[in-house]
Chain A
Amino acid sequence: MKNIEIKIAGKPISAQPGETIVHALWAVGMAESVQTGCAGGVCGACTVTVRYADGKPGGTELACMKPVEEGMEVFPCPVEPDKAVEPVINPDALTLQSVFPTVNRCTKCGSCTTACPMSIPVMDSVMRMQQGDFDAVAEDFTTCIHCGLCRFVCEDKVKPHNMGLWVRRSLGKSQPELQMADEDLNLIEKEWQHLMTDDKQERIQRAKTFREKGSQ
C-alpha cells in the first residue's frame, strides 16, 4: 500500500494507510510530540487540531482515534485542566450560575459541539444547564472524556465539560443512601468459615457448590 504524507506541527512524515495519528508518530520516533495516555479514546490526553490539503473543514480530534489522511496537517493542542469545583447536594440552576458565572455568556456559536470528539450535543446541553434541566445534562455528559476541547474553543469562557461533571457529581451525591439488608451475623460467619477452609482442594469444591445454591 502507498504511504500517506502528513505534517506534524509543520514537519513532514510518512504514515501507513489505516493507522492513527498516534501510531504514525510512534513509527517515526516522534511519540513525544503529542501527549498520550490511554491510546484508546477515553483519557483525552492526545487532543490535536487538523487541517486538510483539499480545503475541507478541519477541526479538533483525538490523535489516538483519528486515522491519517493524505495531506493532513496536525498540530498538538494540549488542554490544561481547569480548577475543580466542589459538587453540591440537590443542585439547581442558580447554584450552577453562582459557581460557573460564565454559563450565561454562551452566544450559541456551536464551536463546542463541533469540537467534541465524543459527539456530545454540548451547546444544547449548556442551554439545558441554564434552565436547570439536569437529568438531561447528566445524560448528555455520560460519555464525556474531559479532554477539555469544548472549553478550549469557547471564546466566551464557558466551561461545558466542567459544568457537566459538576452536574453529574452533584446529582450523584444527592442519591439516597444505599440500604444494606439486615443480616444474621452468626450465619454469615458460619458461611465464611465453611468457604475459607484451609484445605485448597476442599475450598474449591465448597465454592463450586456454594455458587450454585447461594448457600452452603
Chain B
Amino acid sequence: MEWAKESLEKVEGSRAARMKQQAPMPSDPDLILKNFHPDYSGKERTVNAGPNAGDQKFPLELADLLEADSPLPATHSTVTDIETDVLIIGGGGAGAAAALAFEGSGLNVHLATKLRLGDSNTVMAEGGIQAALAETDSPRRHFADTMVGGHGENEPDLLRILCEGGPKSIEWLSQLGCLFDRNPDGTFRLRGGGGTSVPRVLACRDYTGLEIMRVLKDAVRLSSTNVLEDHAAVELFDDGNSTVSGAVLYDRKKASLVNVSARAVILATGGSGQLRLQGFPTSNHVGATGDGLVLAYRQGCRLAFLDSYQYHPSGACYPEALAGQLVTEAIRSAGAQVVNSEGVHFINEMAYRDVLAAAIIKETQEGRGITTPNGKVGVWLDTPMIDLKNGEGALAKQFPGLIHRFERYKIDPVKTPVLIYPTLHYQNGGISIDSQCKTEVKGLWACGEVTGGLHGKNRLMGNSLLDILVFGRRAAESVKEKISERKLLTLNNLNEFRKSQLQKQITSPTFFPKASKMKLEIGKSAVEAETTDSSSSETSGGFEPPDPFAR
C-alpha cells in the first residue's frame, strides 16, 4: 500500500499515544446524523400507489420498485401445481428457524428460496448475537440499550419479545449443536458491541452467522421440510377476499412458473441492500433486493420505517474487490480504533452505528480521508492495535475471516490498518407486523429483516441474528395456532393494484442486483426461454470440468 505510505506513517506515529486514551463520544450526535447520515440526504420521496400512498417517504430506488408493475402476465393461470399447508418464502436464518419450528406439527411445509438454502445475509453475519447472559445483565437492560440505540422508535412489544427470547434462543441453538466461543472457565465469552452497556454479544470467531446458518441448514435438511431451491417468489395469490392463499414461484432451472396453494404464507425474504441506495456499496448477499416488501405491498400490507437503513460503519474500502464487504464491529469492541488520514482518533468507535457511519462520512467530506487508487475515500481501522492490546496472535485467533480475506491481496491486518467506509448493511424498516408476526393481511405472516418496527431507526450489533431466531420460530407458532382452511387462488389483489398509478415501464421484484445484469425471463414459456437464451445454454451446458489437480 505504497500509495498510502504518508498517512500510514502518521497512524503508526500516533498509535502509542492513542493506545492510552479513549476518544470522546460525539457531543451532538443528532447534528452529525442530520448533516452527514445518508438517511437525511433527502434522496427519498412518497409513493403514488398502494397502502402507503402519500404518507411516509421511501428511498428513491425503493419507491420506484413499489410503484412498478408485476412481471406476471395478466393472463397467468391460477391452476395449482403444488399444494402445501405452509409456504415459507426465504432460505436464510428466519425461514430456516420457522421451518424447524413446524417439526412434529403434522403440517406440510414447503420452503422456497431464490438461491440455495442458506445463501443469505445470515451466513454473512460476522460479529455475533446478543443475549442477556451476563450476571449484571437482564432482558430489561438489553431492551433499554436497544431502545436508546433505536432512538426510541422501536415497537416496545416486539422489542420485549426479542430481549426475553435471547437466553432461550442461545439454549435452542446449543441444543441444535451450535458452538459459541467460550472462556477458559467454560462460560460463554461475551463481548460488548456499539451501544451495549454490558458485554452481551456471543460469537463464533468472526463467523457467527456461518456457524448458525450451517447448523440450521443441516437441521432443515434432516427435517420433513420440502426445500425448493432456485425458486424465486414472483407474486402472492389471494382468495378474492383479501386473504393470502399462496404464491407464484419461478423455477430458475426449468425457466417456468409454479403455482403454490398454501393455507399460510410466511415471508422471510430478508432485506434490500443490493438496491445500493445512493450508490453505496453493500455488505449484502446477491439476493437482497427487497422482493418481500414488493410482494406484501401489493397485497395491502403497510410498510414502516423504510426511510431508515443501516450503513455499517466498517465496510472494506480497499482493495476494490472487497469494497463494501463487512469488517466486523467486534474488531472495534476488541480495541481497534477508527483513525483519519492525519492519524487522529476522531471519534469513539463504540458510538452507535448510525452516528459512527455519519462521523466517518464527515471526516472524508471534510478532507481528512484517504483516497484509494480507485478513487474511493475511507478512514483507517487500526487493526494492529488488537495484538498490542491483547497479545500477539489475538487478531488471527479471534478474526480468522478478516485475515483470510485480506491475505490474498497481500495485506496483513496484523501489521497494517485496513481502510473502511460505510456500507449499506441492513434494512431497519419493513412490513408492519403484530406481536404474533401477523401482517395486516390475513393468511400472511412475516419475520426477520423484511419486517419493520423492532429495531426502530438504528439496529444494534447482534440483534438481527437474534431477531431471525426469535421471530422466525414465533411466526411458525402463530401459524400453527391460526392456520385457516385452504382458499381459492386468484390474482384479485394484484389486479386491483394494477389499477393504481404504476410505472408501467419497469417491473418488480427485481430479484437480482442491477450490476449483475441477471434477469428472470418471467412470462416466457420454458421452451421460449431456452431458445432465446442461447448464450447461457452454451456456457452452462453439461461439460465435465477438467481435473484441477492434473499436473
What is the interface of chain A, defined by CB distance below 8 A to chain B? 8-9, 11, 18-20, 23, 26, 29-33, 35-43, 45, 49-51, 57-60, 65, 67, 75-77, 81, 83-84, 86-87, 111, 114-115, 118-119, 138, 142-146, 153, 165, 168-173, 175, 177-178, 180, 188, 191-192, 195-196, 200-201, 203-204, 206-208, 210-212, 214
Q: Which one of A49, A171, A178, A206 has the greatest number of beta carbons of chain B within 10 Å?
A: A178
Q: Secondary structure at chain A's binding surface: helix, strand, loop or mixed?
A: mixed
What residues on B are CB-neighbors of A45 within 8 Å? Answer: 115-116, 119
- Contact present for A38 and B119 (CB under 8 Å): yes
Known: A29-B517, A43-B123. A50 touches B144 (CB 8 A): no
- Contact present for B286 and A39 (CB under 8 Å): yes
B198 to A, closest residue via Cβ: A214
Known: A23-B321, A43-B119, A211-B197. A172 touches B214 (CB 8 A): no
B140 touches which of A83, A169, A192 (Cβ 8 Å): A192
B141 touches which of A9, A77, A214 (Cβ 8 Å): A214
- Contact present for A39 and B141 (CB under 8 Å): no
What residues on B are CB-neighbors of A77 within 8 Å? Answer: 545
What residues on B are CB-neighbors of A86 within 8 Å? Answer: 222
What residues on B are CB-neighbors of A180 within 8 Å? Answer: 167
Shortest beta-carbon contacts, A-B, top 4 = A37-B119, A169-B177, A172-B177, A204-B152
* B548 on interface, CB distance cutoff 8 Å: yes
What is the interface of chain B, defined by CB distance below 8 A to chain A? 115-116, 118-120, 123-124, 133, 136-138, 140-141, 143-145, 147-148, 151-152, 156-157, 160, 167, 170-171, 174-179, 197-198, 204-205, 207, 209-211, 214-215, 217-218, 221-222, 283, 285-287, 319-321, 325-326, 374, 400-401, 404-405, 408, 512-513, 515-518, 535-536, 538-541, 543, 545-546, 548-549, 551
- Contact present for A195 and B408 (CB under 8 Å): no
- Contact present for A195 and B144 (CB under 8 Å): yes
Q: How far is the CA of A67 from the CA of B147 in the complex (A)?
A: 42
Q: With both chains docked as a complex, state the minimum distance between the C-beta of A81 and any C-beta of chain B, in angstroms.
A: 7
Q: How far is the CA of A89 from the CA of B340 in the complex (A)?
A: 51
What residues on A are CB-neighbors of B171 within 8 Å? Answer: 177-178
What residues on B are CB-neighbors of A38 within 8 Å? Answer: 119-120, 123-124, 285-286
What residues on A are CB-neighbors of B156 within 8 Å? Answer: 195-196, 203
- Contact present for A207 and B144 (CB under 8 Å): yes
What residues on B are CB-neighbors of A29 within 8 Å? Answer: 517, 535
Write 12 A-B pairs (CB below 8 A) sorted by A numbering.
A31-B512, A31-B516, A40-B285, A43-B124, A60-B548, A76-B545, A115-B548, A144-B214, A207-B148, A210-B144, A214-B138, A214-B198
B538 touches which of A11, A59, A201 (Cβ 8 Å): A11
- Contact present for B123 and A203 (CB under 8 Å): no
Q: How far is the CA of A211 from the CA of B319 in the complex (A)?
A: 39
What residues on B are CB-neighbors of A39 within 8 Å? Answer: 285-286
- Contact present for B539 and A26 (CB under 8 Å): no
A183 to B, closest residue via Cβ: B138
Q: How far is the CA of A87 from the CA of B408 in the complex (A)?
A: 35
Q: With both chains docked as a complex, state the minimum distance between the C-beta of B136 and any C-beta of chain A, in angstroms.
A: 6
Known: A29-B517, A143-B205, A143-B400. A178 touches B179 (CB 8 A): no
Q: How far is the CA of A143 from the CA of B167 in the complex (A)?
A: 25
What residues on A are CB-neighbors of B404 within 8 Å? Answer: 41, 118-119, 143
A32 touches which of B151, B160, B540, B546 (Cβ 8 Å): B540
What residues on A are CB-neighbors of B148 within 8 Å? Answer: 204, 207-208, 211
* Other A-B pairs, 16, CB within 8 Å; known A42-B210, A169-B215: A18-B321, A20-B321, A31-B517, A32-B518, A32-B540, A37-B287, A45-B119, A76-B545, A146-B214, A146-B217, A165-B214, A168-B179, A169-B176, A191-B140, A204-B148, A214-B141
